[in-house]
Structure 1
Amino acid sequence: MNEINSVSPDYRCGFVAIVGRPNVGKSTLLNHLIGMKLSITSRKAQTTRHRITGVLTTESAQFVFVDTPGFQNKYRNALNQAMNRNVTSTLADVDVILFVVEAGRFGQDDEAVLRLLPQDRPVILVLNKMDAVADKAALLPFIEQMAQKRDFAAIVPLSALRALKLDVLQQAVEPLLPLSAPFYEEDQVTDRNERFLAAEIIREKIFRTMGDELPYAMTVEIEKFDEEMAKNGQELRRIFAAVWVDRDSQKAMLIGRNGEKLKRIASDARKDMEQMFDAKVYLEVWVKVKSGWADDTRLLRQFGFE
């Protein structure tokens, strides 16, 4: 690519929101579009709680993808209201919207998200999880039905998990971006710092380790994050993290017998951090209890929820 200050006048750059109900594969889509694991994923709904930005730079365009939390209609605590505000504020600031639904499935929660989408932004309908559809021809009536709901700029069936047809989606998005020089350096993949990414990695390991025992009212706070040089000349990150839960019983579940679960969570998180940061990581994780934290606006601000 040319130097950032001497790009072609035909170069395009813009913000692309990825929206949809919980658990339709938005984070998986972001990760495969930018070619690295940036947004955490799990089978649990509402894995994503913060707005995550991933940057894809090509010879002709820079795509600034914004992964948003799944819009939540069922629970109305302060945490979910903050996440919903995150979604609606994002929609007002982007150039293109990717509306993600599961191929062949469109319910009330999807309809609620569709109603949120501004009329003055181009929207591409993304039919995700095509790999799970046995009879692709049976989707034609579904696509025709969806085309009646809005004048979509494009309808793109794909599989984020299998990275299938992502190039088709990229080609559909590019001409919708405004003419502009790139916002970020060509090797930059996110605007989030390592402190934020460390918290997200720990949270993902909790999701994956706890399974159905996962307490919804759980979040991770990085209390201390130091960068230094080890004696052998290798970069070192010293990270101290607190996992906040709502009840003492949840704390006991997270720690596990003889601390086994928490040790496994910390060990798995440390390995991912070392790979992502390309540095040695010293990590300590402990669990704290604060009843009602998900409705405490002061704590939500402390934990980074807008």
Structure 2
Amino acid sequence: MSDKQDTVILTDDLIQPFQMAEAGVRGRLVRLGKCVDDILNRHDYPEVVARFLGETLVLSAVLGGALKFEGIFTVQTKSDGAITMLASDMTTPGHLRGYAAFDPDKLAEAEGAPSTDLVKQYLGKGYIAFTIDAKDTDQRYQGIVALEGESLSQCMEDYFDKSEQLETKLISSVEKRDGKWRAGGLMIQRLPSEDGRIFNQDAHDEAWRNAEALVSTVQSGELTDRNMRSPELLYRLFHEDGVWLHDPQILQDKCSCSEERFFRTLQTFGATEVEDLADDGVIKTDCQFCSAQYVFKMSDIVGADQGS
């Protein structure tokens, strides 16, 4: 592999899995550059909305990176505040997309009432959910937790601690540097012993507390610094305990929408519904994620439905 390729892989748009075997800790580091910049600029959201969406993209990657099969990992919020919904997903092997919905009037009001609790200030009351869908099967798993935390990352961290009994430390950062969006996230989780027993509980507990403390020292700028490679950051944090790096997973700004998918969806509608959607016999559909537009003739949809 050339030095140029190596720099691209180890700097931006990747998931870097790692493990500290002696400490019983596993984790993933996510770095987003052009990928998050393209997604956020495509929608031209107000800055605070873009920051929250950037965080959901980080969460989709850092959590979706655990998938060992073909599928989709989705992170979505629904709430009663200015930002009513955030949605992002990662489709294996690493295709990211996302969009947000917000009320401009409520957003202006929220910006006029500053608070240290940004989740409460801009999202209000609601929930954050993550969904795992396995490709070509009916297997589906969903977890839901209330929007109670100073960040979306903290909400997800609390979910793992309370619902999965899996001790987790999760941090993220979204910044705009020199006019370009960048984002990053770091998650560690405590591994149970393989046989369900821990021979030295005190040492195991101490190793986890130490790993948590080290993650807490990470500055937000370090997660988004394109000049700091993933191995460099992980080595600086965990070299005393020994950190093993697995192969990184590349991330891309790529939507899963297609003309065929929209066509199939329209076919599920009744003839009356299709007619209501049509304008002069034509139906125009827009993908909320990537803004792609697809145009269909009403006669093709109704005719295909009748012929099936």
**TM-score normalised by length of structure 1:** 0.30
Which protein shows a greater Rg? Answer: 2
Comparing both structures, which one devotes a greater share of its residues to strand?
2
Kindly indicate whether structure 1 or structure 2 has the higher relative contact order, using CA contacts under 8 Å at least 6 residues apart. 2
Q: TM-score, normalised by structure 2?
A: 0.30
